[in-house]
Structure formats: C-alpha cells, structure tokens
Chains A and B, each alone.
Chain A
Amino acid sequence: MKKQTRNKIDDLAHEAIAERVASVKYPESVPLPVFRGAETQETAYTVEESRQKSRRAAVAPSRQASRQSSGQMFRRYASPFNLVAAALVCCLILPPLAVGRDARLSHISAAVHSRGEIERCRMAAIDIISLAAQGQHNSPRR
C-alpha cells in the first residue's frame, strides 16, 4: 500500500473516531464537586471525596446495591420467604435435635402401636433392646 493511500486511510479513520469522541456529552447534570469547590471556595474536597460525591445518582440497581453496606442490603432484600424459612427451621429441625433419642424411641413406639405389623415390631424390638443395652431406659410400654 502506498504511503499516500495509507495516510489518507489513517486520516479518514481518525476523523471517523473523532466524530464519535465528539458526540459524547459531558455530564452536565452532575458537575464535579471538585469544580464546585474550585469555583465557590466554600469547600476543599479531596479527590477521594469528589469521587464519592460526583457519582451519578441514577446508577443501575445492582451497582447501587453493591455499594450498600451489608445491613442495608439485608433490609433491602429481606422478604417474608426468609422469615418463613427461618420459622420452619426452628419448628421442624431444631426440636428433634434438642430432644434427641427419647424422641426417636417414642417415634418407634408410635409406629408399633399404630400398625401392628410383625416385622416392624421385630425391628422395633431390636432397636429398643439395642438402645437399652446402650443405657437408655425410656422404653415404651408394651
């Protein structure tokens, strides 16, 4: 490619990109606090402060959320579902854990008396005996 042609193409590309650059508008709605500080002399912001203050107000919700503290995020995203889930955990999972083996024994007893199946009785009896051998004395009435 001739140098002249190359320069022409480079110039055209430069002009095309320059138009795109020129089409970008400055953020008129949110002037930089550093500029305000410089003009009015009322405050002397540091650059870090200016960064925080000159952020656009209208940002995407996800970015807004990411900037919030964890407490604020909890309040933002707390829903009834979380409360219901916590209540279910408290009612269904924690009591058996707290009661322990006694609850297991009464469960076996209930199964035996309600169904009366021989096999289940046998298995329940084995369970009861094994538990009794381990020092548990809360065997159900027969």
Chain B
Amino acid sequence: MNDCLSAFETLYRTYYRRMVVYAGGFSAVPAHERTDLAHDILVHAWLKREQFRPRAGTDRSEEQKLNAWIYALARNFILDRIRANRLRTIPFVEEREAEPIARSKTPEEEAVSSDLLKSIRNAISAMSERDREIAQLVFYERMTAAETARVMGIPGATVRWRLAVMRKALRQTVEERS
C-alpha cells in the first residue's frame, strides 16, 4: 500500500503544476476550477494506470511516453468535464506574474532575459487556445509533432503548420525586444 501511495505522490508532485497550467490553457475552465481539475486528472490517471501501455519501437523514453499518455488523458478529461458541467466561458487572462526562477546570470542579463521572457509569455498567452496547447506540449514537454498530434487528435501536418506560425511570431517578438 505504501508503495502505491509513494508512487501516487511522485505522480502528483511531478504533474500537478503542469496540469494546472495545462487546464488553464482551456478558456472554458474558470481559474478557480484549475487546481481541482488538476487533482481530478491525476487521480483519474492513477485509476487508469493499468491502461498505460507504451508503444514499442520508438526512440522516445518511457518518461516521454508517459508524458504523452497523461496529457492525452488530461485533455479528454478536461473536455469531458467542460461538456458535462458546461463550465462558464471566460477570457484567458494570466492571473499573476510568474515568479522568476533563480539563474546564474549578471543582473543586466537577468533584467534583459526577464523582460524577454515576459514578452514571450505574453505572446503565448495571446495565442489561440489550440496554439497554447501545442506550445505547452511541444516547447515545454518537448513532445514531437506526431506525439502532440496524437494527444490532441489532430493531423500531424496541422501541428507542424501551427508550430511554424508560432515560431515565426515568437521570433518577431524576440527581434523586437533585441
């Protein structure tokens, strides 16, 4: 039993924050629902853990495969909840400024980098719901376009196209800043 509990704790510690941010990407999920939703997703993933069967023959690690499985499960769970509860639709607003992570840079570099990251965060926040989702899966989780397409249930070509558009927009942001 304790092994199970510690495994669940590990799962929870690893994915809780990611799930809160992921749920926040859906504009139909109110801000106060995100943490509850993240908790429910992880409990749901835990209950369904027997269904996780990583595909053999790919060069992705077990962790990356688990990532893709959990995100696919989370996506379905969130959409089910939205359909069931008819969650109130609210515009996506970033609640508060993110706390900067400690980095080993000079204060000047830190200021420039922080400003740039803020611009990029704003640019990502201004994207459509689908693009934000793709951004999190590809940029943050380092999923491939094919994995992202499987998670989201859309064609791989669509993911690659949206990625190209996003990269172009982010590049413009970076160039404007620098």
Contacts and interface: CB of A to CB of B under 8 A. Distances in A.
Size bracket of the A interface? 35 or more
A38 to B, nearest CB: 4
A55 B38 CA distance: 11
B139 A10 contact: yes
A9 interface: yes
A90 interface: no
A59 interface: yes
A98 B32 CA distance: 53
A37 B30 CA distance: 31
B36 A19 contact: no
B16 A35 contact: no
Nearest to B170: A9
Interface stretch (A24-32, A78-86, A130-138): A24-32
Contacts, number: 110
A21 B9 contact: no
A34 B98 contact: no
B150 interface: no
B81 to A, nearest CB: 11
The A interface, classified by DSSP as helix, strand, loop or mixed, is helix
A91 B31 CA distance: 48
Interface stretch (A43-51, A68-76, A104-112, A117-125): A43-51
Contacts of B170: 9, 12-13
B151 to A, nearest CB: 16
Nearest to B19: A24
Given A1-B171, A6-B167, A24-B20, A12 B8 contact: no
Interface string A1-16: 1000110111011111
A20 interface: yes
A48 to B, nearest CB: 8
B36 A13 contact: no
Given A21-B21, A21-B140, A32-B12, A27 B120 contact: no
Interface stretch (B40-48, B52-60, B62-70, B153-161): B40-48
B99 interface: yes
B9 A34 contact: yes
Nearest to B13: A26
B96 interface: yes
Contact of A12 (B13, B100, B120): B120
Closest 5 CB pairs between A and B? A13-B139, A23-B98, A38-B5, A17-B140, A19-B98
